[in-house]
Amino acid sequence: MESVWRIFAEAVGLILDWDSDLIEIIGLSLRVTLAAVAVSCAIGLPLGATVGAFRFPGRTAIIVLLNALMGLPPVVVGLIAYMMLSAAGPLGPLELLYTPAAMMIAQTILVTPIVAALSRQVVEDYYCEYAEQFASLGVGPFDRVTALLRDARYSLLTVALAGFGRAVAEVGAVIIVGGNINHATRVMTTAIALETSKGNLELALALGVVLLAIAVAVNGAAMTLRASAVRMAYA
Amino acid sequence: MGTRILSSLIALALVALGAIHPAAADRFIIVQSTTSTQNSGLYDHILPLFRDRTGIEVRVVAVGTGQAIRNAANGDGDVLLVHARAAEEQFVADGYGLSRADVMYNDFVIVGPGSDPAGVAGMRDAAAALARIARAEAPFVSRGDDSGTHKAERRLWQEAGVNVTGASGSWYRETGSGMGATLNIAAGMGAYAITDRATWAGFGNKGNRRILVEGDPKLFNQYGVVLVNPKRRPQAKAGLAKQFVAWILSEEGQAAIASYRVDGRQLFFPNAGG
């Protein structure tokens, strides 16, 4: 119990200390993960909404595939991304390996299926309500998808946050394609892995507490935005 | 309305991509490295000196020696700094590396619980100590990851005449992890382990564990530096990499290595050109 408090005190100390290295690591974590979530939403939301709003052959197979891909192991994603981005791989000439861009790509592969699969479910529920209206008004396919995305936007925020949670907490993919390079590609999770391997278990746990605090802050900010958006809508 | 939603999604993605656009620092090289040199803090000590002198940033990817060699063979590094001489020479012979040189050395040690159930404390003969651990069937934790330390450990078991493959899963545990993770597991199980002295010195989770066997010449641990053949590296990193190798082998680089201390103890002993 005593050591729990010591770890917590160390975490608070880390935050209050405002150490420039820690700030850099937190900043990179947020940049990489928010970028990956944004790209995942740009791909996954329209994809999920399309699958949710239409009936076509092979649809069930696509849903099964999307749901299954939610369970992609980060290490496997990291290895695939490494083999693509390595100098010996097909995308080697881009020279993205061991850069934040590589980490963002790996996290995007990881998060896009989550966004697509969850938004498919959300949109499908809305679609069941709207189907008759769409039919009677003769709404075209493009307008259907965008209308559903718009009306489901508050539920889809939670979908994006689920993607954020997955991306910000994973270590397996980013440590392979990022390399955990100091001042270049070190993020919160790889820093935690490094301190654990140095046997600095308390510092590693303190960093974990800081990571949790970041996740709470991001979720809090998203919920505040949502609340004010709802207020504006009904004002 | 619909187009607005789509265009805002696309705009969001573009802003996100802009935020992680790689920095324009071109004067950097990538070193594929063993973990002990990073975990012990050596790089934090010597790399700023090299940077001040040349303006070249050295980006270290610290993985096990086995993985470092494979990554470098894929062309994902400019310099290799590891500790498995035979594998390094093979790397050069296969055309992946241009040259190999000794950089520094230290030694491996056998660590274990203070209670020392196999009774090996103070032994000088590492192979005999391992044979005694095997006879007592006392838990021993191996890296099991084809790293430099793992290769050295396997050589010692062979010399001790113990077939550990048969014992794997019983008293002999292969973690398949890095040195630090393996030491954490050994601490959790009260097991013996072989580690390089530098990682041990910088390791924070020692508990009641200590060095039990040291000083056998067979525990010698040589680090080498290899200039990676730049044929797979499209841009002009080769010159920068050459500068780094020349510096670490120079009097100045060697002095920088020798001046690194943890708790007043020198962890790496330069021996370039020896």
Kindly determine whether residue A142 and residue B2, on different chains, have CB atoms separated by under 8 Å.
yes
pLDDT, tens only, B131-144: 999 999 999 999 99
Residue B196, SS3 per DSSP:
strand
Asked if residue B53 has pLDDT above 90, the reply is yes
The residues, any chain, with a CB within 8 Å of residue A152's CB and separated by 6 or more, are A119, A122, A123, A126
Q: What share of chain A in percent tops pLDDT 70?
A: 99
Asked if residue A37 has pLDDT above 60, the reply is yes
How many other CB atoms are found less than 10 A from the CB of residue B39? 27
Distance from the Cα of B80 to chain A's closest Cα (Å) equals: 14
Tell the residue number behind the tokens 């500068």, with chain if given.
B243
Alpha carbon distance, N-terminus to C-terminus of chain A? 49
CB A173, CB B14: distance < 8 Å:
no
Kindly determine whether residue B180 and residue A88, on different chains, have CB atoms separated by under 8 Å.
no
Class of domain B107-219: alpha beta
Instruction: Name the residue among B12, B60, B184 with its Cβ closest to that of A42.
Output: B12
Among all residues of chain B, which has the CA nearest to that of A186? B61
Kindly determine whether residue A38 and residue B15, on different chains, have CB atoms separated by under 8 Å.
yes
Tell the residue number behind the tokens 């278990």, with chain if given.
A201
Distance between CA atoms of residues B29 and B244, nearest Å = 9
**Residue A93 has what pLDDT?**
87
Give the phi and the psi of residue B40 in degrees, each rounded to 5: -80, -10
Mean pLDDT, residues A207-222: 92
Kindly determine whether residue B204 and residue A200, on different chains, have CB atoms separated by under 8 Å.
yes
State both tokens at A36: 């990956």
Kindly determine whether residue A87 and residue B75, on different chains, have CB atoms separated by under 8 Å.
yes
Kindly determine whether residue B204 and residue A199, on different chains, have CB atoms separated by under 8 Å.
yes
**Residue B206 has what pLDDT?**
92
pLDDT, tens only, A82-130: 999 999 899 988 889 999 999 999 999 999 999 999 999 999 999 999 9
Distance between CA atoms of residues B119 and B111, nearest Å = 12
Kindly provide the ipTM of the predicted complex, given to two decimals. 0.85
**Residue A61 has what pLDDT?**
97
pLDDT, tens only, B174-191: 998 889 999 999 999 999
Q: For chain A, say whether B15 makes contact (Cβ under 8 Å).
A: yes
Instruction: Name the residue among A93, A181, A203 with its Cβ closest to that of B59.
Output: A181
Kindly determine whether residue A198 and residue B74, on different chains, have CB atoms separated by under 8 Å.
no
CATH value of B25-105+222-270 in 3.40.190.10, 3.40.50.970, 1.10.3720.10, 3.40.50.880: 3.40.190.10
Kindly determine whether residue A197 and residue B1, on different chains, have CB atoms separated by under 8 Å.
no
Mean pLDDT, residues A40-62: 95
Q: For chain A, say whether B204 makes contact (Cβ under 8 Å).
A: yes
Q: Report residue B7's pLDDT band, with 50, 70 and 90 as the boundaries.
A: confident
Q: What share of chain A in percent tops pLDDT 90?
A: 74
How many other CB atoms are found less than 10 A from the CB of residue A212? 14
Q: For chain A, say whether B11 makes contact (Cβ under 8 Å).
A: no
Burial class from Cβ neighbours inside 10 Å (0-12, 13-18, 19+) for residue B258 reads middle
Partners of residue A175 in chain B, C-beta under 8 Å: none
Please report which residue ranges of chain B form alpha helices under DSSP H.
2-19, 36-39, 42-54, 65-73, 85-93, 126-136, 148-160, 164-167, 179-189, 197-202, 238-249, 251-258
Residue A25, SS3 per DSSP:
helix
Among all residues of chain A, which has the CA nearest to that of B44? A182
Q: Report residue B93's pLDDT band, with 50, 70 and 90 as the boundaries.
A: very high
**Which domains, ranges and CATH numbers included, belong to chain A?**
2-234 (1.10.3720.10)
Give the phi and the psi of residue B29 in degrees, each rounded to 5: -125, 160
**Chain region(s) in chain B for CATH 3.40.190.10:** 25-105+222-270, 107-219
Distance between CA atoms of residues A112 and A31, nearest Å = 17
Higher pLDDT, A11 or A159: A159
pLDDT, tens only, B8-51: 777 777 777 666 665 556 789 999 999 999 999 999 999 999 99
Higher pLDDT, A54 or A18: A54
